[in-house]
C-alpha cells in the first residue's frame, strides 16, 4: 500500500508550513510507501521549490501542483483527480503530524477493510492559549479529542465517528463519489473555505457522508495524533461570530447537496432570533449559527435528486467503544445546529 498525502494550501504561514513538512519528513513509514502532493491554491506569493526543502532534504518524493480556482473544494478536487492510490491522507497546512502518523494509517487501513474514512486526535498546539469561553467552540476550528477508545459507525447522519479532513484518511471509492456529487450539484462548490475571508465549511462532511452510501464506516481512531497550529488571529470573538454564522449557512448548503429538502425558516423563527439576547460570548456565537441558517434557508436554491447507488447489503453494525471516565472534548458537527 502506498499513500498519497495531500496538502491543499492558500498563502500558508511559512514557519508553520515548514513544521508541517518537517513532520512529514520525520515519518517512520518508509519513503517508498508515500508520496506528498502539495496543491497551491493561489498563494501570494506562490509556493516554490525553496518552500519544500524539508521534504527534498529528507528524500521524500513530492509533486507541487497549482489550482487557479480559489477554494479548498477545488484544491481537493485537483488532489483527488491527480492521484491514483487507494487511500489519500489529507493534511492541512497547519497540521503537525506525530512521527508514526502515516505508519499508523497503513496499519489501521489494512486491519479494517470496512472503513471508508477515519481520523484521529486533533490537538491544540501547545504554544496557543485560548480563553475559557472559547473551549466549547474549539471543535469548530478542528480541535478534537474524544478519548482513547475507537468510535466507528456506518450512518447517514453526523456523529463523533465522522472525521474532519484535517489528518483524515479517505478511501478512493468515497473520494470518487465526492467528485460525482460536486458535478451533480453545482451548489456544492460553494462549500469550504475560499482564501482568508470565505468561511463556508462542510465540504468535509459532504465527502465523509459518502462512506455510508457505499456501506463503509467512518471512524475516530485515537492512535492517530496531530497538533493543529491555529492562526492566533482566529482566536477572537469577532472571528468566532463570523465562523459560526457561516457554519449555519453551510448546514443548509450541505443538506441540499445531499438531496434533502430544507424548508425556508418562517417568521416565527425570525421573531425568536430578534428577541434572543445572549448573555455570553458562547451563546452569541451559537445565535450567529441560527442567523446563518435563517439567511441561507430562505435563499431560493435548487435541490438535486438523490444519488443513485446500487442496493447495498445490510450495514455493518455500529461499533462505539467509549470509556465514560476518559475526558473528551465536546462533540460538535461543524454543519449541525449547535
Residues present in the chain in total: 338
Q: Is residue 325 part of a domain?
A: no
Q: What is the pLDDT along the chain (338 residues), one digit of tens a residue?
A: 999 999 999 999 999 999 999 999 999 999 999 999 999 999 999 999 999 999 999 999 999 999 999 999 999 999 999 999 999 999 999 999 999 999 999 999 999 999 999 999 999 999 999 999 999 999 999 999 999 999 999 998 889 999 999 999 999 999 999 999 999 888 899 999 998 888 999 999 999 999 999 999 999 999 999 999 999 999 999 999 999 999 999 999 999 998 888 889 999 999 999 999 999 999 999 999 999 999 999 986 655 544 443 333 333 333 433 333 323 333 445 545 55
Q: Is residue 307 part of a domain?
A: no
DSSP conformation class of 334:
T
Q: Provide the grid cell at 320.
A: 462505539
Residue of 55, 62, 64 whose CA lies nearest to 27:
55
Whether 241 and 292 have beta carbons less than 8 Å apart is answered as: no
Q: Is residue 115 part of a domain?
A: yes
What's the domain count of the chain? 1
Whether 2 and 86 have beta carbons less than 8 Å apart is answered as: no
Whether 308 and 180 have beta carbons less than 8 Å apart is answered as: no
Whether 303 and 260 have beta carbons less than 8 Å apart is answered as: yes
CA 6 to chain centre: 13
Q: Is residue 93 part of a domain?
A: yes
If you write DSSP's letter for every residue of 249-280 in order, what string do you get? HHHHHHHHHTT---PPP-HHHHHHHHT---SS
3-state helix, strand, coil in the chain (%, to 5): 40, 15, 45
What pTM was estimated for this model as a whole? 0.89
Whether 71 and 84 have beta carbons less than 8 Å apart is answered as: no
Q: Provide the grid cell at 98.
A: 506525530
Distance (Å, rounded) from C-alpha 106 to C-alpha 221?
Answer: 12
Q: Is residue 180 part of a domain?
A: yes
Query: Could you list the residue range(s) of the whole structural domain that residue 33 is in?
Result: 3-234
Q: Is residue 32 part of a domain?
A: yes
Q: Is residue 285 part of a domain?
A: no
Residue 55: which CATH number? Answer: 3.90.550.10
β-pairing, 34-40 vs 62-66, is: parallel
Q: Is residue 97 part of a domain?
A: yes
Distance (Å, rounded) from C-alpha 250 to C-alpha 256?
Answer: 10
Amino acid at each position: 500500500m502506498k499513500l498519497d498525502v495531500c496538502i491543499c494550501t492558500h498563502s500558508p504561514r511559512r514557519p508553520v508550513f515548514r513544521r508541517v513538512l518537517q513532520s512529514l519528513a520525520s515519518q517512520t513509514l518508509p519513503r517508498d510507501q508515500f508520496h506528498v502532493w502539495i496543491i497551491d491554491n493561489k498563494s501570494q506569493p506562490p509556493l516554490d521549490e525553496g518552500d519544500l526543502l524539508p521534504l527534498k532534504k529528507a528524500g521524500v518524493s513530492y509533486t507541487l501542483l497549482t489550482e487557479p480556482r480559489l477554494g479548498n473544494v477545488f484544491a481537493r478536487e485537483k488532489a483527488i483527480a491527480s492521484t491514483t492510490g487507494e487511500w489519500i491522507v489529507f493534511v492541512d497546512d497547519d497540521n503537525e503530524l506525530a512521527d508514526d502518523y502515516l505508519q499508523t494509517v497503513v496499519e489501521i487501513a489494512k486491519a479494517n477493510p470496512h472503513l471508508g474514512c477515519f481520523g484521529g486526535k486533533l490537538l491544540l498546539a501547545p504554544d496557543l492559549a485560548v480563553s475559557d469561553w472559547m473551549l466549547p467552540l474549539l471543535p469548530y476550528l478542528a480541535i478534537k479529542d474524544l478519548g482513547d477508545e475507537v468510535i466507528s459507525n456506518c450512518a447517514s447522519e453526523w456523529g463523533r465517528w465522522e472525521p474532519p479532513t484535517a489528518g483524515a484518511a479517505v478511501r478512493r471509492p468515497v473520494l470518487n463519489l465526492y467528485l460525482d456529487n460536486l458535478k451533480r450539484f453545482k451548489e456544492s462548490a460553494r462549500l469550504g473555505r475560499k482564501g482568508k475571508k470565505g468561511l463556508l465549511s462542510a465540504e468535509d462532511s459532504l465527502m465523509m457522508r459518502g462512506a455510508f452510501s457505499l456501506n463503509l464506516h467512518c471512524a475516530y481512531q485515537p492512535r492517530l495524533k496531530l497538533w493543529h497550529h491555529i492562526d492566533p488571529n482566529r482566536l477572537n470573538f469577532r472571528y468566532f461570530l463570523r465562523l459560526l454564522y457561516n457554519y449555519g449557512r453551510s448546514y443548509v448548503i450541505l443538506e441540499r447537496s445531499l438531496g434533502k429538502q430544507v424548508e425556508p425558516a418562517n417568521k416565527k423563527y425570525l421573531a425568536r432570533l430578534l428577541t434572543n439576547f445572549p448573555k455570553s460570548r458562547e451563546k452569541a456565537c451559537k445565535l450567529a449559527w441560527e442567523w446563518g441558517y435563517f439567511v441561507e434557508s430562505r435563499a431560493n436554491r435548487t435541490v438535486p435528486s438523490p444519488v443513485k447507488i446500487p442496493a447495498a447489503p445490510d450495514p455493518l453494525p455500529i461499533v462505539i467503544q467509549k470509556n465514560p471516565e476518559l475526558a473528551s472534548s465536546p462533540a460538535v458537527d461543524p454543519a449541525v445546529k449547535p
